[in-house]
């Protein structure tokens, strides 16, 4: 029987690394995203049509797809010249497709069913953490309140040097039951990589998600980011990431995978030029417990400082 793996995250990081690598193995994947985006194209649809944000789950759908390449390229195609806050340009066809279906049917589950069918996803599932509307807000160390995933992700109106003390929902929402079911059946839980406060931790805020993680017998693996981010993880170490994750899921992680490869200054500088808000490599704490903290050279050979999907997947499968 194939192993069942639940992957948590949003943005492009988990889609391009964790999902892409694991999909090559004989496993059943369930990719869970927070559904709390509030920027770019997703925000426009939320405002105009009262639909759920489709950006993150769209990326998961593409990553899990077995469809011909033209369908995946079409789903990722950006249309239009409108410039949104944060520099996002136009609408993704996938956002239009998913949000349009939800608007027409007034049923997000129906929209997802058709999207899975269109992208020929047979063995895997892209799941929302919730199908209820809410937003995130952060309380900073000076007690200032910052509203919205987009402002936390790319600070425009607050001092990004201030640390985030707490992340909350504007309205309590219940977890999506199929997501809870996937967690209960999982053989392995994989979290990340991805932006900590705007992508990963929001997944655990709907009522029921953290509780399901606390009950599951599955091993829990956190893939630590390679770089820190302005306004979210300034100066963070591997242990800082791990501690925050355990605080929000309410239970210990079994394994933390981190990159121990030291990139050249030139490569770091080049990466920072093309990545919004990226700061420095994540610090490696001294005397980490090597039974829990697994350090390895897991970067792609050159170019951006990203995880190598094949190396990462092999390491995850070994657990």
Residues 188 and 289 in one domain: yes
What is the arithmetic mean of pLDDT over 51-62?
95
Domain that holds residue 293: 1-31+175-319
Residues 24 and 64 in one domain: no
Q: Where are the alpha helices (DSSP H) in the chain?
A: 13-14, 20-22, 40-49, 55-64, 69-76, 93-105, 108-118, 149-153, 177-185, 209-215, 238-249, 265-273, 309-317
Pick the closest to residue 129 from 216, 218, 37, 48 (CA basis): 37
What's the confidence (pLDDT) of residue 40?
Answer: 78
Query: 154: helix, coil or strand?
Result: coil
Residues 230 and 296 in one domain: yes
Residues 238 and 311 in one domain: yes
On whether residue 304 sits in a domain, the answer given is yes
Question: Scanning the structure block, which residue is given the tokens 């010249």?
Answer: 81
pTM comes to 0.95
On whether residue 224 sits in a domain, the answer given is yes
Residues 40 and 101 in one domain: yes
What is the rounded CA–CA span in Å between residue 284 and residue 303? 22
CB 106: neighbour CB atoms within 10 A?
10
What are the pLDDT digits (tens) for 63-72? 999 999 999 9
Indicate the number of domains in the chain: 2
Residues 318 and 196 in one domain: yes
What are the pLDDT digits (tens) for 265-283? 999 999 998 888 899 999 9
Domain boundary (96, 128, 160) is at 128
Residues 2 and 74 in one domain: no
* Domain at 284, CATH number: 3.40.50.10680
Residues 10 and 92 in one domain: no
What are the pLDDT digits (tens) for 181-191? 999 999 999 99
Residues 52 and 124 in one domain: yes
What's the confidence (pLDDT) of residue 11?
Answer: 75
Domain boundary (63, 96, 128) is at 128
Residues 264 and 179 in one domain: yes
């Amino acid at each position: 029987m194939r192993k069942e793996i639940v992957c948590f995250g949003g943005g492009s990081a988990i889609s391009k690394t964790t999902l892409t690598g694991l999909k090559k193995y004989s496993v059943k994947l369930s990719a869970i995203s927070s559904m709390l985006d509030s920027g770019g194209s997703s925000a426009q649809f939320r405002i105009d049509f009262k639909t759920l944000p489709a950006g993150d789950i769209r990326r998961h759908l593409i990553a899990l797809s077995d469809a011909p390449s033209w369908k995946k390229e079409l789903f990722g195609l950006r249309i239009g010249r409108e410039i949104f806050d944060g520099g996002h340009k136009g609408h993704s066809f996938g956002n239009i497709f998913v949000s349009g279906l939800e608007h027409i049917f007034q049923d997000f589950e129906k929209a997802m069913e058709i999207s899975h069918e269109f992208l020929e996803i047979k063995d895997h599932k892209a799941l929302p953490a919730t199908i209820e509307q809410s937003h995130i807000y952060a309380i900073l160390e000076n007690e200032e309140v910052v509203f919205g995933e987009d402002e936390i992700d790319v600070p425009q109106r607050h001092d990004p040097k201030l640390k985030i003390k707490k992340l909350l929902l504007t309205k309590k929402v219940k977890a999506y039951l199929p997501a809870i079911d996937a967690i209960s059946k999982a053989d392995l839980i994989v979290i990340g990589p991805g932006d900590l406060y705007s992508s990963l931790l929001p997944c655990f805020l709907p009522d029921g998600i953290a509780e399901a993680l606390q009950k599951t017998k599955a091993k829990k693996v956190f893939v630590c980011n390679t770089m820190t981010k302005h306004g979210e993880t300034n100066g963070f170490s591997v242990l800082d990431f791990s501690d925050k994750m355990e605080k929000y899921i309410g239970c210990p992680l079994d394994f933390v995978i981190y990159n121990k490869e030291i990139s050249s200054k030139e490569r770091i500088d080049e990466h920072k030029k093309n990545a919004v808000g990226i700061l420095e490599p994540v610090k490696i704490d001294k005397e980490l417990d090597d039974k829990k903290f697994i350090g390895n050279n897991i970067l792609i050979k050159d170019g951006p400082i990203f995880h190598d999907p094949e190396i990462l997947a092999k390491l995850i499968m070994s657990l």
